[in-house]
Amino acid sequence: MGRFNQYLGKTEMEVDGQKLELDVKLKDMKTLMTAVKDGKMTEETIEKIATTFKDLMKRSYPEDPVEEIDAFVEKKFTEFMTQFSIAMGWASKKDIDKSFREAGITGTKA
C-alpha cells in the first residue's frame, strides 16, 4: 500500500436519502468550478452544472437507467449541488446555510 492510497476510491455523499459514491474526475471539478461567472447563476450556468452532474452520475452508476438519473439530478438539483460542494470541501454546511438564509431560501437539506 502506497502513501497516497487514501486518495483512491470515490467521493461519498448523500442526496434525498440516497448514499452516493461518485467517480469524480478533474474535468468534472474544472467544469463546476468555472461554471459560475461574475458570481451570477444564469440558465446556461444551471444547465452546464446539471449536465456535469448527470454525466458524473451516469459514469458512477452505468447500470441505472439514464432517464432515472436525469430525473433524480433535476428534481434534487439544489440538494445535489449543496452536498457535492460539502463533499468536495468547497463549502461547509454552515456557509451554505448562511448563504441560503441571506437569499431567503428555507427548507433545504444542506
pLDDT tens-digit readout, 19-46:
999 999 999 999 998 887 777 778 899 9
Whether the predicted pLDDT of 15 surpasses 60: yes
Least confident among 4-13, 22-31, 54-63: 4-13
Kindly list the domain boundaries of the chain, sorted by start residue: 23-103
pLDDT single digits (tens) 43-55 = 899 999 999 999 9
C-alpha cell belonging to residue 93: 454546511
Determine the Cα–Cα distance for residues 53 and 14; give it in Å rounded to an integer: 14
User: What is the structure's pLDDT at 109?
Assistant: 54
Look up the pTM and report it.
Answer: 0.81
State the Cα–Cα distance between residues 29 and 75, nearest whole angstrom.
21
Query: What span, in angstroms and rounded, lies between the C-alpha atoms of 15 and 1?
Result: 32
Mark out the alpha helices in the chain (DSSP H runs).
26-35, 43-60, 66-75, 77-87, 93-103
pLDDT of 8 strictly over 60: yes
Per-residue pLDDT, 105: 67
